Amino acid sequence: MRTVIIGTGSFIPANVKTNRDFTTHDFYDDNQAPVPGGPENIVKKFEMVTGISERRYADADMNASDMAIAAAGKAIADAQIDPETLDQIILAQNFGDVKKHTIQSDAVPSLACRVKQALGIRNPACIPYDLLFGCPGWIQGLIHADAFFRAGLAKRCLVLGAETLSRVIDDYDRDSMIFSDGAGAAILEKQEDATGGPGILGSVAQSFTLEEADYIYMGKSCFPHSDPRVRYLKMQGRKVYEFALKRVPEAMKVCIEASHVPISGLKKIFIHQANEKMDAAIIKAFYALFPGSKAPADVMPMNIRELGNSSVATVPTLFDMVLKGALPGHTLNKGDVVLFASVGAGMNINAVCYRL
């Protein structure tokens, strides 16, 4: 059998937050001391390092589950299926629903349950659950669905990634400019195996926690007079970069080798949109693991420059955009082999090799 993606959908908020919007911010470092250089220089350097010029934030009355519902509806329409035929709804997220201007996460009932309710699914055998796996959550959802299919426990799944990172960032932290909001979805179906047919060819998942678990964490604001009881999304940027550059290419190599796909057989690599320069360095390091290979100029689609880092939503929204012809310079055709890969809090890494 093969696990086949039969429909995709995404929701990208309309609210654009440009880098210029941050030039009025005051930035402080981890020691709550003012960052030297002034906000305009800080923002300019940020764009040079990350490649991000703007990002999208959800409307004030929209939560992560609302975006997931919108993306799910598009994926279901694309797949042309009856939602009642879904066996599972797997929703990757990390912070639940965080209402605008509040500091409390709401994940009871699960966001997946809210999606099932909104879709009007009555089937009690359709099991909704949330998946917390850092930024690689959506790809881990693909791995979960594939495992359930192979175990004979499901035939059709909806896999979602949704996040409103704009609700958990510290405005006084330079890293806050990285993050954004969004949601992506895919319908996966168990199909009979056919030689050369579409489906997941292989996967890998890894976790490094002994020294790395706190590279991305929740911590106090950089602002000297902040309430120490309120926590925000934080990361040790340099350590995350070094970790990703070493570990992600290795995992990607393991994945395509387990899938029996040569490096020359990859048409596109859909990598988590974390940092433009970091992603480019990961791809370069990945191809360096194969002597004589060089990354094709068009192998890595990117939308981080306009959309920022929306955590679990980056890979499915990027994939949906390319499939729908919404990203200039990038197309996919039947039979193309692609690689999904991500890294994030945990520190967790995963990759999935897929043939269209």
pLDDT in tens, 190-227: 998 767 789 999 999 999 999 999 999 999 999 999 99
The token pair at 11 is 């929701």
Phi, psi angle pair for 232, to nearest 5°: -130, 160
167 and 225, same domain (yes or no): no
Q: Are residues 235 and 140 in the same domain?
A: no
Q: Does residue 296 sit in the same domain as residue 185?
A: no
Residues 204 and 123 in one domain: no
> Is residue 24's pLDDT more than 70?
yes
The pLDDT value recorded for residue 194 is: 66
- Is 301 found in the same domain as 166? no
Beta bridge partners of 339: 269, 353
CATH number at residue 60: 3.40.47.10
Residues 52-65: tens digit of each pLDDT: 999 999 999 999 99
Given a cut of 90, whether residue 228 has pLDDT beyond it is: no
Write the DSSP string, 290-311. Answer: STT----TTS----HHHH-B-G
308 touches 164 (CB < 8 A): no
Q: Are residues 240 and 264 in the same domain?
A: yes
CA-CA distance, 247 to 282, in Å (whole number)?
9
- How many domains does the chain divide into? 2
pTM above threshold 0.75: yes
Q: What is the pLDDT of residues 108-159, one digit of tens each?
A: 999 999 999 999 999 999 999 999 999 999 999 999 999 999 999 999 999 9
- pLDDT cut 90: percent of the chain above it: 95
Residue 164: pLDDT over 80: yes
Which pLDDT score, from 0 to 100, does residue 101 have?
A: 86
Among candidate residues 166, 191, 216, the one where a domain is terminated:
191
Does residue 207 sit in the same domain as residue 171? no
Say if residue 23 is in the same domain as residue 99: yes
Q: Are residues 141 and 253 in the same domain?
A: no
Q: Are residues 147 and 168 in the same domain?
A: yes
**Do 205 and 116 lie in a common domain?**
no
Q: In this predicted structure, what is the pLDDT of residue 22?
A: 94
Containing structural domain, residue 245: 199-355
Residue ending a domain, choose from 159, 191, 223: 191
Q: Are residues 349 and 267 in the same domain?
A: yes
Share of the chain above pLDDT 70, in %: 100
User: Mean pLDDT over residues 311-318, rounded?
Assistant: 98
Among the three residues 156, 191, 226, which one is the final residue of a domain in this structure? 191
